[in-house]
Amino acid sequence: MLSIENRYAIDPMTARRFDSDELRKNFHVGGIFADGEIKLIYTHYDRMIVGGAVPAGGELVLDEVKHCGTASILDRREMVVVNIGAEGTVKAGETYAMAKGDMLYLGRGSGPVTFAGNGRFYILSAPAHKELPSRLVRIEDAARVDLGSQETSNERTIHQFVHPDVMESCQLVVGMTKLHNGSVWNTMPAHVHDRRMEAYLYIDLPEDQMAVHLMGEPTETRHLIVRNEEGAISPPWSIHSGAGSASYTFIWAMAGDNVNYKDVEMVGMGEIR
């Protein structure tokens, strides 16, 4: 079963007037992992698609998505699949066995995508201008960056999977950040990157805990409460940061004009309000 939700882009002046329900309707990502279903959100931020596929021991095939305007979803797109569950397989021409934490890049023209086994598959897709080889990237193949400290409660390790330091993609850049024990803040100090949007997914968060995802303009911040396997769509004009009531992991993905991860505009701690 395939279901698709359409999300239009929101400008910062409009977002300033949103209450909690409107913020969640436009920016919150939740309920995308359902047994026996593929659930997608088609965003109008750089045409990014985010979603989930849970074959629950069976098979699910992702092929035509009407919003893309092509016979098959990857005819003019690239895709990254992240397994956040038990072992499973993804087939797109070749069959790839995926353990928890593995990321699979599928290049343009890879054909229909079949999800099988007991994995919980997080799906990210964006338009692609050329064909590139598909590649399975495991955590030991990712580039590693250690940031933060215990003193500021943001000691974390960034694993860059689909990233210029690891492999070539058209515009998708995807990685995973793990908070160390006792640390709760991610992406702090905050930044923005007006040339591309970002999507977050929070995982490994205990069921009785939560994270507060910060968004909005640096001087007009808003927040979303997110639980395990929930996240946020972050517009190019928005900061994207957060703090949890327990340590967690989050998957970040960007699409837009520049794949240079360091191409950001920092926001000073004294600027945020």
Q: What are phi and psi of 9, to 5 degrees?
A: -75, 145
Q: Do domains 2-11+31-137 and 139-266 have the same CATH topology?
A: yes
pLDDT of residue 261: 62
Q: What are phi and psi of 25, to 5 degrees?
A: -60, -35
CA atoms within 13 A on the CB side of 240: 26
CA torsion 94-258-199-21 (nearest 10°) is -140
Burial of 230 (0-12, 13-18, 19+ CB in 10 A): buried
Determine the average pLDDT of the residues in 195-217.
95
| Tokens found for residue 126 | 């964006």
DSSP classification of residue 171:
S
Tell me: the pLDDT tens digits for 76-133?
Answer: 999 999 999 999 999 999 999 999 999 999 999 999 999 999 999 999 999 999 999 9
- Asked whether 111 and 90 are in contact (CB, 8 A), the reply is no
Q: List, for residues 32-91, the tens digit of each pLDDT value.
A: 999 999 999 999 999 999 999 999 999 999 999 999 999 999 999 999 999 999 999 999
Rounded Cα–Cα distance for residues 142 and 3 (Å): 32
Cα distance between residue 109 and residue 122, in whole Å = 20
* Residues 3, 121, 136: CA angle, nearest 5 degrees: 130
Q: Which pLDDT value is given to residue 272?
A: 82
Tell me how many degrees the CA angle 215-221-227 measures, rounded to the nearest 5: 40
Three-state SS across 181-205? CCCCEECCCCEECCCEEEEEEEECC
Determine whether the annotation assigns residue 240 to a binding site: yes
DSSP state of 141: G
Taking the alpha carbons of 233, 113, 249, 86 in that order, is the dihedral positive or negative? Answer: positive
Q: Which token pair is 205? A: 């968060």
Q: Is 159 known as a binding-site position?
A: no
pLDDT single digits (tens) 154-191: 899 999 999 999 999 999 999 999 999 989 988 888 87
What is the C-alpha to C-alpha distance for residues 147 and 162, in angstroms, rounded to an integer? 19
Domain boundaries, the chain: 2-11+31-137, 139-266
- Binding site annotation covers 193? yes
Out of 3.30.310.10, 2.40.30.30, 3.40.1160.10, 2.60.120.10, which CATH number does the structure's domain 139-266 have? 2.60.120.10
Residues 6+ apart with CB under 8 A from 19: none
Report pTM: 0.95
CA–CA distance, 227 with 108 (Å, rounded to integer): 33
* Burial of 204 (C-beta count, 10 Å sphere; 0-12/13-18/19+): middle
Cβ atoms of 154 and 243 within 8 Å: the answer is no
pLDDT at 160: 94
- The CATH class given to the 2-11+31-137 domain equals mainly beta
CB-CB contact of 114 with 59 (8 Å): yes
Q: Decide if 117 contacts 96 (C-beta within 8 A).
A: no
Helix (H, G, I), strand (E, B), or coil: what is residue 40? strand
